[in-house]
Amino acid sequence: MSARHPPPREPWPRHHVPEKSNPLRRRSDHLEAWISRLLLLILLLGLPAATLGTGLATYRSAMGTVRTQSAERHEVDARVVSAVRTVTATEEQRAQVRWIDDEGTTRTDNALVKPHTPNGATVRVWVTRDGAVTGPPMTENQAMTTSWFTGGAAATGFVAMIYVTRVGVRHKLDRERYALWDAEWERVEPLWAGRFRR
């Protein structure tokens, strides 16, 4: 080979030391690598399980609420008796309403109606079996949204837990390494200092 055409460089040295047999790797390095692999495995297996498990459990619970509230609540036509409080046009106003239940009993309660609803107007309100004004029942879309939100929160919490564990392990191992370095330096430093005094 001439100087003009040097041999191509190798992508890595010929005497590459495998990671496992590297004499510079300390016990703590092996331990950190093993824990990192374990945490990665837990993340890959646990993240889908935590997300889907929490989401499905929340969805089943929310759908139970949907069925219960749908069975216990129904809409009735009520007449506005008097406005209790009028607020800005972007909000609702609380008004006293009156209606007749299925048994023919006249009932009166407070309900939220659209702003500036006049007295005597007919409005639709949700009531319970006991005749108390309440809100509309939860819908299937709300149940689905709640389950997605809960599943996402569980996934975020699981990833955060793995990350905090990884950082905590590294911090503890680093403290041990620094302590070992300090101890080794206290043993070696006098020998180095003695060489320079000659």
Give tens-digit pLDDT for 35-60.
Answer: 899 999 999 999 999 999 999 999 99
pTM score of the predicted model = 0.65
Q: How would you classify the pairing of strands 73-85 and 93-100? A: antiparallel
Question: For residue 17, what pLDDT is reported?
Answer: 46
- How much of the chain exceeds pLDDT 90, in percent? 44
**pLDDT of residue 67 exceeding 80:** yes
Q: Which residues, in sequence order, are CB contacts of 151 under 8 Å at separation 6+?
A: 51, 52, 54, 55, 58
**Terminal CA-CA length for the chain:** 48
172-186 confidence digits (pLDDT tens): 888 888 888 877 777
- Calpha distance 53→154 (Å, rounded): 9
- Calpha distance 93→119 (Å, rounded): 12
For the CA atoms of 189, 192, 194, 197, the dihedral, rounded to the nearest 10 degrees, stands at: -120
Provide the 10 A C-beta neighbour count for residue 80: 20
Query: In the structure, what pLDDT confidence band is assigned to residue 23 with cuts at 50, 70 and 90?
Result: low
On average, the pLDDT of the chain sits at: 82
**pLDDT of residue 193 exceeding 80:** no
